[in-house]
Amino acid sequence: MGNVVHPEYGSSDSGYLAKLSSSVAIDTSSGETSGYCVWFPDFTGRTLTAASTVVRNGNWFVYQSNLSSTAPTNTVAQPFGVGTLPTSSNGQFIIDPAHDLVNSDICADARTVAGCVKMTYTGRNDALSGRVGYLNAVPREALLQGGSGSPPSPTDMFRYCDSNFRTPLDTIENKFRPGDGSAAFRAEGSATHSSETDNAFDTGIPGASITSVGAGVPSGMCTGIGFCFEGLPEDSTVIFDLVKTIEWRPEMNSGLVQPPPTTSPSGRNLVSQAVGLLDARVPGWQQEVKNGLKSAGAQVATMAYEGAKNLTIKGGLAYLGM
């Protein structure tokens, strides 16, 4: 993402801008070579301590398994998202990049302006194997019930995704797509489930995990993005990086002055119009190979996987003087 700018949702609200990032590294040293990462950028989640156990209610879910057909659990005994990577059958919620700021004493509420999730393979090039897929428009309900009433397996995710290919040597990126629920400012709320207004999910205290009932918008309105993967080489590492820009409003007792309100020149939701224009003029704009041009090694690997029909490879090799 480049320079940050205020969103033009058409409202007269305004706040401060902040660009934040976080990452998580997963390894396959125990044979967990398949899995997926799904992030719901409209939310920031929270960390709740209950019964001396830290529970990461949140919006960024990462799961690994030995077999692509194995799905995460969501039961009272093993609630969805409260495990520890890599050897957990229920996956793990990772804290959102904006969580600490939104949960601080100076922030009243926030909304997402922009975001992206990146996937980088950092293992041996000569051992590269497997495939990855882009995940877009993942409903929260589907993440809990999309596998015939249970959380989906990596195999289910590959059936769902619209684009998959050989594991690349280059960093790949999936961009946040603002929707109808993105214009709302959301606050962290109190430490009780019924008051939490910025969770994509409520984890299982005392039962199984559910989609949050206090999120302020219908569950299907704020969808997730990410990647699925299977067949990665053992003893390798993959890094997921999240970059997120939020517009946030200060608490009254923080000492910060509220920025003056602004409205888009037309008074309309320019964010929605911009997304529509991108869809029409730049199909596939959410999915990108970092820096726009694959390395020579990655192009050769892609050619071997997809065949020479991809003419962009020839153009890339010509550009590199090969």
Q: Give the mean pLDDT of the chain.
A: 79
pLDDT tens per residue, range 288-306: 776 544 455 445 444 444 4
Residue 6 has pLDDT above 60, yes or no: yes
Closest to 105 (Cα-Cα) out of 260, 261, 256, 258 = 256
The sign of the CA dihedral 90, 96, 102, 105 is positive
Residue of 314 and 116 predicted with greater confidence: 116
Which distant-in-sequence residues (6+ apart) come within 8 Å of 176 by Cβ?
A: 41, 112, 114, 115, 116, 225, 244
pLDDT band per the 50, 70, 90 thresholds, residue 211: confident
What pLDDT was estimated at residue 165? 93
Separation CA 1–CA 210 (nearest Å): 32
pLDDT at 244: 95
- Whether 8 shows a pLDDT value over 90: the answer reads no
Q: What local confidence, expressed as pLDDT, does residue 270 receive?
A: 54
User: What pLDDT, on a 0 to 100 scale, did the predictor assign at position 177?
Assistant: 87
When mean pLDDT is compared across 62-71, 104-113, 114-123, 208-217, the lowest value belongs to 208-217
Of how many residues is the chain composed? 322
For position 55, what pLDDT does the model report? 60
- Nearest Cα neighbor of 159 from 230, 209, 222, 210 is 230
Residue-level pLDDT at 143? 93
Q: Give me the phi and psi of 60, to 5 degrees please.
A: -125, 110
pLDDT single digits (tens) 258-294: 887 766 555 555 566 556 656 666 667 567 776 544 4
Question: What are the chain's domains?
Answer: 16-289 (2.60.120), 292-322 (no CATH)
Cα–Cα distances in angstroms (integers) from residue 238 to residues 29, 49, 85, 169, 257, in the given order: 11, 29, 13, 11, 42
CA distance 135 to 225: 5
Q: What is the pTM of this model?
A: 0.80
Share of the chain above pLDDT 70, in %: 69
For the stretch 32-74, pLDDT in tens is 999 999 999 999 876 665 555 556 678 999 999 999 999 999 9
Cβ proximity of 260 and 15 under 8 Å: no
